[in-house]
Amino acid sequence: MAKDPKHHVATRLSHAGRAGTHVHGFVNPAVHRGSTVLFPDTAARREGAKHRFEQFMTYGTQGGPTHYAFEDVIAEIEGGTRALIVGTGLAAVAVPLLAYLKTGDHCLMPDNVYGPARNLAGGLLKGWGVETSFYDPCIDEAGLRALLRPNTKVVYTESPGSHTFEVQDIPAIARAAHAVGAKVLMDNTWGIHHFQPFKHGVDVSIQALTKYVGGHSDVLLGSVTVNNEADWLVVRGTGSQLGQFASPDDVWLALRGVRTMLVRLQRQEQSGLEVARWLEARPEVKQVLHPGLPSHPQHALFKRDFTGGCSLFGVVFQPRYSPDDVCRFIDSLALFGIGASWGGFESLCIPTTGNITRTAGSGDFGGPMCRIHIGLEAPEDLIADLTQGLGHLGA
Ligand SMILES: *Cc1c(COP(=O)(O)O)cnc(C)c1O
């Protein structure tokens, strides 16, 4: 289908990634597995090599029809021109950082950044002579400008942060970064289609497709989306040098998942807000960290830049409770799984107090914390479970 920006995102998601993929009339593309790609003659092979980053099959690592269909869907969601699909969300974080940073460069990362991204900054990047400084995620334009150095090549962003949910002023950060020629990278996993990164000044958008796009807790994938040919060649070239590849079976699963993503997301967002509002009114709870709640410190920014959200949020308990009390609460829940990740059909809850590393700020929210992911269960059942769970808090 030709891209028609007049169509609602729901319509575009039903039709994207289908052109040219029909096999024997079936609606969906097949799983194309392959390493070797055969050419009719050596001249055709020579010609093909010139188009290897253009959805042109030359070798398995350059992708095939299943990948191309899915790439188009992700570019559509993000509002970009091209998307690179990689094996995990973390690989999608790593590829653009490695693409735009080299020895002697400086990188800025928000203090609430996804933990493994911080590990990469302090590990491989540091070892290769890239210095990273961490900044307050709620920084304004002047504040960021003061942190930029002549060698700052990347300003990394993640909004909202996936444990503490600060919303960043991305347009302000992008203005400051672009004034010194730095690239703005954004982890847009929480916003999904509700935040359009390229309309707000982002150069490279990262998604952990493992979350709502996959949606069924059975697939790991990531994407790196860009909005022009120059960035595509840098990102795709780096992915290629690193041998990044996503299994066509996983891509097929995610392509299946993404067709129903909007209805899942809508339901989960609504249920999440219902549970968040309920928790906020409980005496045991000090604060609920959900950008969609009017009480959130950056709610105005969220309303300005996002068209909605998802079902992942944080809870800060009253300081009279200890982290152990919160663990007892979590252990007593019957409908919430205890485990990492989010965006699947099932609800989850994990303690976050000990998991938050901060170097630019204190990260102290004034009480022990947990993170809740709301799945597709009925919210009244989840609230009943949370009610009995809260009974175990002070026991
Ligand atoms: C989960 C997650 C990732 C990494 O995704 P994986 O597929 O698990 O590697 C990256 N960023 C954020 C914000 C995440 O929550």
Q: How confident is the model at residue 24 (pLDDT cuts 50, 70, 90)?
A: confident
Is the pLDDT at 49 greater than 80? The verdict is: yes
Instruction: Sort strands 106-110 and 152-158 into parallel, antiparallel or unpaired.
Output: parallel
**Structure-model confidence comparison of residues 338 and 364, the more confident one:** 338
> Are 33 and 128 part of one and the same domain?
yes
Is the pLDDT at 1 greater than 50? The verdict is: no
Q: For ligand 1, is residue 157 a contact (CB within 6 Å)?
A: no
**Structure-model confidence comparison of residues 108 and 19, the more confident one:** 108
pLDDT in tens, 349-392: 999 987 788 998 888 899 999 999 999 999 999 999 999 999 99
**Structure-model confidence comparison of residues 374 and 20, the more confident one:** 374
> Are 60 and 170 part of one and the same domain?
yes
Ligand 1 atom 8: residue of nearest CA: 89
What is residue 154's DSSP assignment? E
Contacts of residues 196-200 at CB distance under 8 Å and 24 or more positions apart, as own/partner, are 196/78, 196/79, 197/78, 197/79, 197/80, 197/170, 197/225, 198/78, 198/79, 198/80, 198/227, 199/79, 200/170, 200/171, 200/174, 200/305
Is the pLDDT at 2 greater than 60? The verdict is: no
Is the pLDDT at 21 greater than 70? The verdict is: no
> Are 280 and 338 part of one and the same domain?
yes
Minimum mean pLDDT among 2-6, 31-35, 40-44, 119-123: which range? 2-6
Q: For ligand 1, is residue 148 a contact (CB within 6 Å)?
A: no
> Are 230 and 252 part of one and the same domain?
yes
* Domain carrying residue 370: 262-390
DSSP string, 206-250: EEETTTTTT-SS----EEEEESSHHHHHHHHHHHHHTT----HHH
Query: Domain total for the chain?
Result: 2
Q: Is residue 3 part of a domain?
A: no
| Residue at which a domain ends, from 258, 292, 327 | 258
Q: For ligand 1, is residue 212 a contact (CB within 6 Å)?
A: no
Ligand 1 atom 15: residue of nearest CA: 162
Instruction: Please identify, by atom number, the ligand 1 atom nearest to the C-alpha of residue 211.
Output: 1
**Structure-model confidence comparison of residues 13 and 380, the more confident one:** 380
pLDDT in tens, 236-253: 999 999 999 999 999 999
Q: Is residue 4 part of a domain?
A: no
Q: Look-up: residue for tokens 């252990």?
A: 331
Q: Is residue 1 part of a domain?
A: no
Q: Specify the pLDDT at position 28.
A: 87
Q: Specify the pLDDT at position 29.
A: 86
Mutate to test the pocket of ligand 1, among 187, 188, 224, 356 (most ligand atoms within 8 A of CB): 187
| Residue at which a domain ends, from 206, 235, 258 | 258
> Are 254 and 329 part of one and the same domain?
no
What is residue 272's DSSP assignment? H
- A 10 A CB-CB count for 276 gives 23
The answer to whether 188 and 205 are in contact (CB under 8 A) is yes
> Are 368 and 308 part of one and the same domain?
yes
CA of 258 to the centre of ligand 1 (A): 17
Q: Specify the pLDDT at position 6.
A: 82
pLDDT in tens, 56-91: 999 999 999 999 999 999 999 999 999 999 999 999
Q: Specify the pLDDT at position 356.
A: 82
Q: Using alpha carbons only, give the angle 317, 319, 322 rounded to the nearest 5 degrees.
A: 80
| Residue at which a domain ends, from 190, 225, 258 | 258
> Are 231 and 361 part of one and the same domain?
no
pLDDT in tens, 251-286: 999 999 999 999 999 999 999 999 999 999 999 999
Q: Look-up: residue for tokens 């299994």?
A: 247
What is the domain-level CATH number for residue 349? Answer: 3.90.1150.10
What is the domain-level CATH number for residue 237? Answer: 3.40.640.10
Mutate to test the pocket of ligand 1, among 109, 156, 162 (most ligand atoms within 8 A of CB): 162
pLDDT in tens, 90-112: 999 999 999 999 999 999 999 99
Mutate to test the pocket of ligand 1, among 159, 186, 205, 211 (most ligand atoms within 8 A of CB): 211
Q: Specify the pLDDT at position 394.
A: 82
C-alpha dihedral (20, 260, 300, 147), degrees to nearest 10: -60
> Are 221 and 350 part of one and the same domain?
no
> Are 174 and 71 part of one and the same domain?
yes
Q: Is residue 395 part of a domain?
A: no
> Are 207 and 270 part of one and the same domain?
no
Q: Is residue 52 part of a domain?
A: yes
Q: For ligand 1, is residue 189 a contact (CB within 6 Å)?
A: yes
The answer to whether 83 and 17 are in contact (CB under 8 A) is no
Q: Specify the pLDDT at position 299.
A: 98
The mean pLDDT value of the chain amounts to 95
> Are 153 and 24 part of one and the same domain?
yes
Q: What single letter denotes the amino acid at residue 317?
A: F
Mutate to test the pocket of ligand 1, among 244, 313, 341, 348 (most ligand atoms within 8 A of CB): 341
Q: Specify the pLDDT at position 387.
A: 98
Verify cis geometry, omega within 30 degrees of 0, for the bond prior to 65.
no
What is residue 50's DSSP assignment? T
> Are 306 and 210 part of one and the same domain?
no
Per the rule left: phi > 0, alpha: psi between -120 and 50, beta: everything else, 364 is: beta
